[in-house]
Structure 1
Amino acid sequence: MVERWTVPGSAPALFLAGTSRLLRPDEQVFEAMLEGWRDQQLSRNLGRSTIKPRLDLARRFLRYTNDFPWNWRPMDVDEFFADLRGERRAHSTLRSYQSSLHMFCDYIADPRYHWTTVCENLFGTHPAQVFFEWNTATHTTDYEGRPARRALTKQELQDLFDYADDQVQIARRSGNKGWFAALRDAAALKTAYAWGLRRREVAMLDLADFGSNPHAPEFGVYGVLYVRWGKAGKGSTPKRRSVLTVFPWSVRVMSQWIEQCHDLQSSGARNSALWPSERSPRVSKEKLGARFAEYRDALGYPDELTLHCLRHSYVTHLIEDGYDPLFVQQQVGHSHASTTALYTSVSSDFRTRTLRKVLDDSITRALALPDSGADS
């Protein structure tokens, strides 16, 4: 009989004590492992949106190997990720998958969680780590994104916004009831660029998230945007930051939307979400991303461009316009200047103008010099 020395009530304790019914022990142990790993991650204060994809990935790896974790082998890792490479997955995606499965194997192979003892008793073997430095991807570069995921040029950006406005007018003239959604999404896309926001940050904005900036009174009540749903670090709550308004035109866009358009289709109490939806309190980030993709395709822009490129464009255009890099870094909420640098993709137009200015200045200075070949 196995001695009850594990934590009372824990999943391993139930298996070791013989108090858990084992109709299908392999499946029951695997699901209990996932539950335990889920609880471990929750205790680290990780979000459920982070944990669920990891659990799903572990189940997917099991289906691929057609075997349970205590029988996994390094060659299973090789074959699984070789197949994923055939699906043209991004390098960063593959490395993320490997990292997640590595953590799962660390958990079930750690003797402090007693899954090794459970498996030895039930199956005559135990789980072990199968992800190693020599069979997993390494992080070799600072930036692993696709090269085509770049900032839009100012002309491309203007064309995008003009196209979005045109869709509103076309829908209204034709009596299409989707005109309001088109109007909302056009304003949302402009907002994403005007304040350098991520998808979730845009979607989660509320009416109360704007305030005045005493150092820029010309912007009125839209001088500052308070972002409450910034990207969180591991195990932390969403980061908050304040973004100062820099584009005068963005104030006109926001005042028109909030003061004239926001409540046009609202019924009853005023919706506090900045971007209301007909079927839910607020539009989802997926809907905003799909709208951007629709307009991108219509304009013939590369498929790799996403809504996040508007944030890249914001950083790039501020740098091009001469804003201090530290100011830009604080505006977008980056902890490190190196991160902001990765977002900066100075346009060829800007480089051409810079080169032309340097050459013209050189020629001007040369013409101003005394003639070195004068008669002596």
Structure 2
Amino acid sequence: MSEDAEVLLLRQPGVVPLHEDAAVFSGMLDGFSRQQTSRGLATQTIQMRRWQVERFQRFADSYPWEWLPGDIEDFTTSLFSGPRPLSRSTVRIYHLTLRAFCDFITDQRYGWVAECRSRFGSVPTQVCFEWNTVAHTVDFEGTPGRRPLDYDELDALFAVADARVETLRRQGRKGALAALRDAQLLKTTYAWGLRRREVLGLDVVDLRTNAKTPQWGRFGLLHVRHGKSSKGSIPKRRSVLSLPEFDWAINGLRVYVEQVRERFNPGNHPGLWPTERGTRVGDRYLDRRFAQLRDEAELPAELTLHSLRHSYVTHLIELGYAEQFVQTQVGHAYASTTAIYTSVTDDYRNRVLAAAIDKFYFPEGST
């Protein structure tokens, strides 16, 4: 008998499924998923939360009506341990999911407490508390080593990417076209401050005109349709204006669209970054390509693709753009998030300091 069939039997009075405990747990998960759907959360978020609960159940080797607070503590220890320990923020997400699931199954209105009492003689309880879960005590929980690239590092990264194209072309080796695409992809990520999902999700139709910059034609702005969602909602959309400081990237994108992209024979594929197989460039591929070029440029290993977005925010602030404008460009809901991304260089701070000294000690009209 399938697990779905067993769950249906739960609704029949007096019927005991063959795998009663598994059927009840599956029914809880289905109900939790429906509740999350009713809240308007994205399908991907719901599936991830269900998987997280299932992972905890497998670790505890017991069912919700048997869970104890100590199980959470043991699970947390395992997540922080091993060859690839999870970050503090990721573990906190696990805790939030398990707390929400326990809130659902212990809510008398859903009937799972009475169901478990009648079937197993015990009931589920909340096992996530302030004293055994990760607290959200700071705004930024990322790796401290992650930072923006300075201008020299950006030049080195893009120089290596461009040199790779020339090397492959000169040697007549396969991959020169893909290398040219990848170089422009990285430049686009930086010059418009995009997240990985946002840049990979771009279609050709997302290249738009801006009436204020007619000289750039259809490259006046990028329409981002796959922005980061809030609390599992649908992706946010925004328009990212092209800026004059990055006209070199605008020109590069124009050359790529008009002369390079069609050489991949994309046909009717809408994606801006097609592959030879007629698909989109994938996120893992892009991460590997960035890491390869970063290492060839002899840049620090803690720099990631997302560091390009940090660089964009930092450099816009240094260029004098208002924080509200920068916040809108990168799609941050709160100014505090934009502030976290900002890490101005010593040269910029010294210029600000010099201007302040001049204003204080040598005001206009003084001799």
Q: Residue 127 of structure 2 aligns with which residue?
A: 130
Give the superposition deviation at 1:23.
1.0
Distance in 1 (CA, whole Å) between partners of 2:233 and 2:89 is 22
Trace 1:279-318 onto structure 2 (pairs within 5 A): 279-318=277-316
1:281 deviates by: 2.7
Cα 1:301–1:19, aligned 2, differ >3 Å: closer, same or farther?
Answer: farther
Specify the alignment match of 1:231 in structure 2: 228
Q: How big is each residue's C-alpha offset from its partner over 1:39-68, in whole Å with a ceiling of 9 and x where there is no partner?
A: 221222222221222222212211221111
Cα deviation, 1:65-117, whole Å, max 9, x if unaligned, reads 11111100011111111222224422111111100111111111112111111
TM-score (norm 2): 0.90
**TM-fit CA distance, 1:326:** 1.2
Residue number in structure 2 paired with 1:249: 248
Count of aligned residue pairs for this structure pair: 359
Letter matched to residue 255 of structure 2: Q
Which residues of structure 1 form unaligned runs of 5+? 1-8, 371-376
Question: What amino acid does structure 1 have at the position aligned with 2:320?
Answer: G
Matches within 5 A, 1:17-28: 17-18=12-13, 22-28=17-23
Secondary structure at the counterpart of residue 263 of structure 1: helix
Contact 1:211 1:225 in 2 (8 A): yes
2:50 counterpart residue number:
55
CA distance in 1, matches of 2:98, 2:301: 30
Matching residue's letter, 2:75: F
Q: Tell me if 1:65 matches 2:64.
A: no
- The aligned residue for residue 160 of structure 2 is 163
User: Match for residue 338 of structure 1?
Assistant: 336
| Matches of 2:96 and 2:200, distance apart in 1 | 29
Distance 1:258 1:24, change over 3 A: same
CA distance in 2, matches of 1:219, 1:327: 20
User: Of 197, 212, 226, which aligns to 1:215?
Assistant: 212
Distance 2:276 2:213 in 1: 35
- On the 8 A contact 1:15/1:118 being kept in 2, the answer is no
Counterparts of 1:352 and 1:24, CA distance in 2: 70
Pair 1:81 & 2:79 matched: no
Task: Give per-residue Cα distances to partners, 1:266-290, cap 9 Å, x unaligned.
Answer: 06x3432110012343112232222
Larger radius of gyration: 1
In structure 2, the CA distance between the partners of 1:10 and 1:331, relative to structure 1 (3 Å rule), is farther
For the residue of structure 1 that corresponds to 2:226, the secondary structure is: strand
* Structure 1 pair 118–11 and aligned structure 2 pair: CA distance change class (3 A): farther
By how many angstroms is 1:245 displaced? 0.6
Q: Deviations over 1:300-352 (max 9, x none)?
A: 33333221111111110010011111111111122221121111111233224
Would you say the 8 A contact 1:263–1:270 is kept in 2?
Answer: no
Q: What are the superposed Cα offsets for residues 128-163 of structure 1, whole Å, 9 maximum, x if unpaired?
A: 100011211111111111111111101111111111
How far apart, in 2, do the equivalents of 1:233 and 1:363 lie? 44
Superposition deviation, residue 218 in structure 1: 2.6
In structure 2, the gaps of 5 or more residues are none
For residues 132-211 of structure 1, what are the structure 2 equivalents within 5 Å? 132-211=129-208
> Matches of 2:289 and 2:42 in 1, distance apart?
27
